[in-house]
């Protein structure tokens, strides 16, 4: 897969954060549509990361470690809900008799606020729970030490299987592969999104592990493409922009 030459130098400058104005806007627009250039940008960032190693040597003072770990301890992940400031307790109840009408109004207001705060707390707790559940799911899906088991009818020899879960509106794709055959060195499997209109779109490159399993999580995809099917081909390990025949596996929506 080749990078568009007219953007090749700008990609390097963009990775460095040195591209501005119209040049940056033009490149970003192109990146939305071009998987090859997005991949090249990721590669260039990798090259920049290597550049960081040229200066590695100085180590931070011990106090920096202590400072970080103290800050971490002060911010436990599951922070308690912020305490409510009971400003209303400062109301001078001794003057209650003289201010009866005003206090009734304040009491009503307080009840309303308490209800709202309670509602927000419930909502926040629910979101925390959902977030935690989502994190655990992703963590399990991507764990390198996860056991992946494909169940089939008894006495059936294991078959390669791929499961793609795609949400068009979010351009979100999760792909799970099992029982895939190893490929020769320099080769990798490439997943393709086959749109209802237009050419197949690269949707991630993967190599199965020793057990034939692999995962692709949210590869870069153009926004909102309707998928007719997903397919898999064998490609050079850097990936291709056009599928190389034959199609090894294909599946349409359920």
Partner 1 sequence: MGLPCNPCQAAHPYFKWKEINCLSPTELKGNLTDAAVLSAIRSGDENGMAALYDRYSAVVYSVALRVLGDTGAAEDVLQEVFMQLWRNPGLFDSSRGSLGPWLSVIARHRAIDGLRKRRPETDIADVVVSVEPDLAGDAERARAMEKVRGTLGSMPSPQRQALEMAYFEGLSHREISAKTGEPLGTIKTRIRAGLLALRKAFAT
Q: 19, 27 in Cβ contact below 8 A?
A: yes
Asked if 13 is part of the footprint of partner 1 (rule: CB under 8 A), the reply reads yes
One character per residue 164-203, x = contact with partner 1 (rule: CB under 8 A) = ----------------------------------------
Asked if 53 is part of the footprint of partner 1 (rule: CB under 8 A), the reply reads yes
- Nearer of residues 12 and 249 to partner 1, judged by Cβ: 12
Q: 17, 10 in Cβ contact below 8 A?
A: no
**149: which 2 tokens?**
């088991």
The DSSP symbol for 49 reads H
Vertex 36 angle, CA 34 and 42, to 5°: 105
Stretch of 8-16, 149-157, 179-187, 193-201 lying at the interface with partner 1 (CB under 8 A): 8-16
Binds partner 1 (CB under 8 A): choice among 25, 51, 96, 120? 51
Size of the site for partner 1 (CB under 8 A): 59
Element (H, E) at 226: none
Binds partner 1 (CB under 8 A): choice among 76, 92, 184, 198? 76
201-206 and 187-195 strand pairing? antiparallel
- Nearer of residues 70 and 123 to partner 1, judged by Cβ: 70
How far, CA to CA in Å, does 184 sit from each of 144, 188, 191, 193, 247? 22, 8, 17, 24, 17
Chain residues binding partner 1 by CB under 8 A are: 8-13, 15-20, 39, 41-61, 64-65, 67-69, 71-73, 75-78, 135-136, 138-139, 142-145, 215-218, 220
């Amino acid at each position: 897969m080749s990078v568009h030459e007219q953007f090749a130098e700008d990609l390097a400058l963009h990775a460095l954060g040195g591209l501005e104005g119209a040049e940056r806007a033009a490149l970003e627009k192109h990146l939305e549509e071009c998987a090859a250039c997005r991949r090249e940008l990721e590669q260039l960032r990798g090259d920049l990361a290597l550049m960081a190693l040229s200066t590695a040597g100085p180590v931070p003072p011990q106090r920096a470690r202590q400072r970080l770990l103290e800050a971490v301890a002060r911010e436990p992940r599951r922070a308690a809900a912020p305490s409510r400031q009971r400003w209303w307790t400062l109301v001078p109840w001794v003057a209650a008799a003289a201010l009866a009408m005003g206090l009734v109004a304040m009491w009503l207001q307080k009840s309303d606020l308490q209800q709202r705060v309670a509602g927000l707390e419930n909502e926040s707790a629910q979101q925390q729970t959902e977030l935690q559940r989502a994190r655990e799911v992703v963590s399990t899906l991507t764990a390198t030490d996860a056991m992946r088991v494909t169940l089939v009818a008894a006495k059936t020899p294991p078959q390669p299987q791929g499961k793609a879960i795609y949400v068009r509106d979010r351009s979100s794709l999760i792909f799970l592969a099992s029982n895939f055959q190893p490929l020769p060195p320099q080769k990798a499997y490439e997943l393709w999104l086959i749109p209802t209109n237009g050419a197949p779109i690269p949707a991630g490159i993967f190599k199965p592990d020793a057990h034939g399993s692999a995962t692709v999580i949210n590869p870069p995809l153009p926004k909102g493409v309707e998928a007719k099917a997903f397919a898999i081909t064998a490609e050079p390990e850097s990936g291709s922009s056009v599928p190389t025949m034959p199609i090894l596996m294909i599946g349409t929506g359920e």
